[in-house]
Amino acid sequence: MSAFDLARRLRAGETVYAAWCMIGSPIVAETIAREGFPAVVLDAQHGLWDTASLIIGTGAVNHAESTPIVRVPHNDFALVSRALDFGAEAIIAPMINSAADARHFAAAAKYPPLGERSWGPLRAMAMQGRTAPVDYMREANDGTLTLAMIETATALGNVDAIATTPGIDGLFVGPYDLATALSNGTAQDVDAPQVGQAIDKICTAAKNAGKIPGIYCRNADGAVAMAKRGFRFVVAGNDQTTLREATVAQLRALKP
C-alpha cells in the first residue's frame, strides 16, 4: 500500500468502503483490516479507544496494509494533530456545526498555509515511508483527510459554508444524531423522509464544493445503497454490531 493511499483513491473519484471499530482492541482492528477493508476507523468519541490503544491501533491497521482513520471526541482538536502524528491518514471530527468549527478543525489538521498544525510526525513519517521531513510536509495537506461530521440541524443549515471551508476535505454524515436532531429527540429513524432529504442535501453540498461525501451505515446493504446515492467514503457497520450479529447467528444454528 502506498503512502496516503486513501486520499489518492478518493480524490481520483473511487468509492471506498471502510470498517468502523468501537471495541478499542488493536487486534480486532488489525484482523478486520487483514480481511480486506482498505480503511478502518478507530472511534475515540463513542468507542473505547484511549491514547495508548490509538497509538497501537493505527500501527496495527497500517501493518495490515489498510488506512487508519481516527474519529476524535467532540471539540478535541488537540487530538486531531496528535492522531495524525500517530499515523492516522484521516480524521473524522464530530459536531462541526459552523464554518468557524470547520476552520478550527482544519487549523489543527493542516500545515501552513491552510492551517496551523504543529510539526512532529515522526511515527507517521515512518509508517508512510517518508524519511525526509520536507517530503512528508509537502504531501501531508493533500494526503491526510479532514472529514467534518454533519449531524445537527444547525450544521445542516450551514452545510454549504462548512463544505467550502479551506482545509476541509469532505463531509461525513452521522445519520443517527442527524435523525435524533431532526425529530427533536423523539426518534432515531434514519429512514424517515426528512432524514433522507437531509442526507441527500449533505451529499450534494460536498459534491458542489468538490469535496468527498461520506456517511456511516449500519451494515453492508446500507453502505451499498448509499454508494448508489453518490457517497464515496462509506462505512459498512462496526465491530461490536458485527460480532453480536454473528454470535446470535451461531447460537441460532446451534439450537435443536
- pLDDT by residue, tens only, the chain of 256 residues: 678 999 999 999 999 999 999 999 999 999 999 999 999 999 999 999 999 999 999 999 999 999 999 999 999 999 999 999 999 999 999 999 999 999 999 999 999 999 999 999 999 999 988 888 988 998 999 999 999 999 999 999 999 999 999 999 999 999 999 999 999 999 999 999 999 999 999 999 999 999 999 999 999 999 999 999 999 999 999 999 999 999 999 999 999 8
Question: CA 39 to CA 64: how far, in whole Å?
Answer: 10
Take residue 15 and report the three cell numbers written for it. 468509492
Q: For position 157, what pLDDT does the model report?
A: 98
Which of 112, 114, 57, 116 is CA-nearest to residue 83?
57
Give residue 238's pLDDT.
Answer: 96
Side chain identity at residue 44, one-letter code: A
Q: In whole angstroms, give the CA distance from residue 70 to residue 59.
A: 12
Q: Which domain holds residue 36?
A: 5-254
The catalytic position among 46, 63, 74, 104 is 46
Note whether 22 and 46 are within 8 A (CB): yes
Query: CB of 163 within 8 A of CB of 205?
Result: yes
Predicted local confidence at residue 153, as pLDDT: 96
In the prediction, which pLDDT does 213 show? Answer: 98
Burial of 132 (0-12, 13-18, 19+ CB in 10 A): exposed
The 10 Å CB-count burial string (b at 16+, else e) for 50-82 is: eeebbbbbbbbbbebebbbbbbbeeeebebbbb
Q: What is the pLDDT of residue 1?
A: 66
Comparing CA positions, the residue from 216, 154, 158 lying closest to residue 181 is 154
Q: Count Cβ atoms below 10 Å from residue 86 Cβ, excluding itself.
A: 23
Q: Where are the beta strands (DSSP E) in the chain?
A: 16-21, 39-43, 67-71, 90-93, 145-150, 170-173, 212-217, 233-238
Count of C-beta atoms within a 10 Å radius of residue 250? 9
CA angle 136, 139, 143 (to 5 degrees): 115
Please check whether residue 38 is in contact with residue 66, taking contact to mean a CB–CB distance below 8 angstroms.
Answer: yes
Q: Confirm whether 74 is a catalytic residue.
A: no
Question: For 15, which DSSP code?
Answer: -
Pair 69, 43: CB distance under 8 Å: no
Q: How many domains does one find in the chain?
A: 1
Q: What is the pTM of this model?
A: 0.96
The dihedral over CA atoms of 130, 233, 175, 93, expressed in degrees to the nearest 10, equals 20
Q: Check residue 87 and give its pLDDT.
A: 96
CATH number at residue 56: 3.20.20.60
